[in-house]
Structure 1
Amino acid sequence: MQTTTIRTLPTSGASVKNLPVNLFGAVMGIAGLALAWRGAAHLFGSSSRIADGIGVLALLVFAVLTVAYLLKWAVFPDAVKAEFTHPVGGNFFGTVTIAILLLSGVVAPWNATLQHLAWTAGALSTLVLAYVVVSRVLKGNVAAANVVPAWLIPGVASLDIAVTGGAWSHEVNMLALGIGTAIAVVFYVLIFSRLVHGEPLPAGMVPSLMVMIAPFEVGFLAYANVTQHIDMFAAMLFYFGLFMFLVLAPRVFRRSVPFAPSWWAISFPIAALVNAALKYAAVADSAAVTLLAAALLAFLTVAIAVLLLRTLYSLYNGKLLAG
């Protein structure tokens, strides 16, 4: 079976029309790295300026991508509509809402009002997207080839509401936790079954396999934030996510998988793993867990740097926005 392709109008050369919405995954990854270094400041005593600098970069990347995608929407509305209605590509609009939610966490120490505004916008848009995605799926006749890890993004986005929300948003956090958990569980089973019984994912979609760890690590962070403690259940979520990372890493990090914007799909799940590891290490009182958290933070930092440099080079040589 072949995955349905997004219908686009023909263009020649580089064009904003070819800007993929999944590039907002870069904001997710960079913002997640900023939050990880903020956690490292508490655990290891590293300078908070590192987190602040990375956070500013995340805001700048988000601003540039937002302006560019709004331009795409204004000039090529049919292309945006085709991307949104696509059974696979439409799920990547969750990268925009997750980016807003994570940025609300990034700006939290700087300005509480801005944090609340960003979180509210991110939460509302995430819940609307979750409604649209679930409604779309329940229409039926979904091709098995379209059941891919990207389906988890709207569910993970709902969990991120609870990750970044404060005590002032308890009921919304609980609503999001319920929606995100149910979507993640149901979709995870469907995706796992498709990966076991169906054809292998196309090379371009292989990096998105790393999204399979996100429900557990983001679930850990959401549960810990809502309950304000880390118990055995939270530890189970963390360790299973870590197990899946070890299982999937050899399949994802291969030279045969060409670089594309889809590679940013690895950044946020790993950032969630790192943030969970740092938070768990703070209460586990284990040298091994602390060392693991440090190693994962170093890996994430290098991975984000490589992805950013390769993306900039791809933009420079015209391949990033090529038709």
Structure 2
Amino acid sequence: MKGKLRYFPITAYAIVMGLAGLSIVFAKFHHMQWLPKIFYEIMLFSTLFVFLGISVLYALKAIRHFEEVKIDFNHRIRINFFSAFSISILLLSIAFMSYWPFLSMSFWWIGTIVHTALMLYTVAYWIQNNFEIQFMNPAWFIPIVGNMLIPIAGVEYLPKLFSFFYFGVGFFFWIILFTIFLNRAIFHHQLPQKFVPTLFILIAPPAIGFIAYIRIAQSWDTFAVFLLLISYFFAVLLLVLHKSFKKLEFFISWWAFTFPLMAITIASVVAFQISHQAIFKYLSFFFMAIAVLTISFVAYKTVGKIRQGEICINEE
């Protein structure tokens, strides 16, 4: 166990992101009276349990193998996954918002403070270090996506101007990073197999941006529709690219499939709530079915890898 703990991956928080996203999906479906509350409650507390378990294991790693944590924190790719920790807290805040408001507010304050610190450190790290273009991959979006999650619950706790600040920072960097990624994808070497599943992260920024904008502005306007349709575009694009995902060896990065699928499912429910157009209801059920199947499959593969002792290994 001690040897395994040394290489416990920070990327494990991507599991919490996927599960928390599914909890929020079930919450929205319960709110719309499309699912019984029990599904939401089971998923909610299961996600909290997984989050606490992963956090305890990584804390033990930090205590016993602090040099490995420092290596993770200064790694050109793994540094981006530290923001998955704060994003997990923010997602738990959203998931608990209607169930336990005080806990939701506590999670939101902790998540916002931690994410702000990690986001600023990560952006400073990008600026202060020289990167070759091949190091760029969709995982770079993770610190930025978190900014647009903050307003979703944040509009309940602070003035809207605060939420607009985080939304604006997230939107600004999403456009810049996507431009860099498109340059890397078209004109340079293909992504390593391990990071091909992270292409699904491309769905998340516009989908979360749409939800955040609706929460702040409460307006079904041109900009809201633009964000929503861009997220659908990326979903269709990934469907066209389905051959790139065939015969991939399983890595924990496969959890990158899950959270963006939850995001676009929630965005579809919100679009139906505010526009009352039936197409969004059908899309909500369609994406939820895909999301549940995907998370079930990835969870099954993860349990298999854990049993084979192939998760906590030296990735270098």
Pairwise same-fold verdict (TM > 0.5):
yes
Give the conservation status (yes or no) of the 8 Å contact 1:14–1:319. no
Structure 2 counterpart SS, 1:167: coil
Unaligned runs of 5+ in 2: none
2:228 paired residue number: 238
1:95 equivalent among 84, 105, 120? 84
Q: Which amino acid aligns with 2:301?
A: R
Structure 2 counterpart SS, 1:142: coil
2:175 paired residue number: 185
1:197 equivalent among 180, 187, 193? 187
Q: Deviations over 1:237-266 (max 9, x none)?
A: 111111111112453673321111110111
Alignment map for 1:1-323 (pairs within 5 Å): 15-170=4-159, 171-251=161-241, 254-323=245-314
- Per-residue deviation, 1:90: 0.3
For structure 1, which segment, 78-87 or 14-23, has the greater mean C-alpha deviation from structure 2 after superposition? Answer: 14-23
- Per-residue deviation, 1:140: 4.9
Going from structure 1 to structure 2, the CA distance change for 1:24 and 1:248 (only over 3 Å counts) comes to same
- Per-residue deviation, 1:145: 0.8
Q: How many residues align?
A: 312
Structure 2 counterpart SS, 1:311: helix
Q: Which amino acid aligns with 1:201?
A: L
- Per-residue deviation, 1:177: 1.2
Q: Which amino acid aligns with 2:291?
A: L
Give the Cα separation in 2 of the matches to 1:268 and 1:283. Answer: 23
Give the Cα separation in 1 of the matches to 2:235 and 2:277. Answer: 21
Give the conservation status (yes or no) of the 8 Å contact 2:220–2:275. no
Give the Cα separation in 2 of the matches to 1:292 and 1:69. Answer: 37
Give the Cα separation in 2 of the matches to 1:107 and 1:290. Answer: 24
Q: Which amino acid aligns with 1:178?
A: G
State, as a whole percentage, how many aligned pairs show the same letter.
25
Higher RCO by CA contacts (8 Å cutoff, separation 6 or greater): 1
For structure 1, which segment, 243-252 or 63-72, has the greater mean C-alpha deviation from structure 2 after superposition? Answer: 243-252
Q: Which amino acid aligns with 2:219?
A: H
Unaligned runs of 5+ in 1: 1-11
Structure 1 counterpart SS, 2:309: coil
TM-score (structure 1 length as normaliser): 0.92
- Per-residue deviation, 1:13: 9.4
- Per-residue deviation, 1:178: 1.9
Q: Which amino acid aligns with 1:156?
A: V
Give the Cα separation in 2 of the matches to 1:89 and 1:251. Answer: 25
Q: Which amino acid aligns with 2:5?
A: V
Give the Cα separation in 2 of the matches to 1:321 and 1:22. Answer: 11
- Per-residue deviation, 1:176: 1.1
- Per-residue deviation, 1:297: 0.6
- Per-residue deviation, 1:94: 1.2
Give the Cα separation in 2 of the matches to 1:106 and 1:244. Answer: 25
- Per-residue deviation, 1:167: 3.0
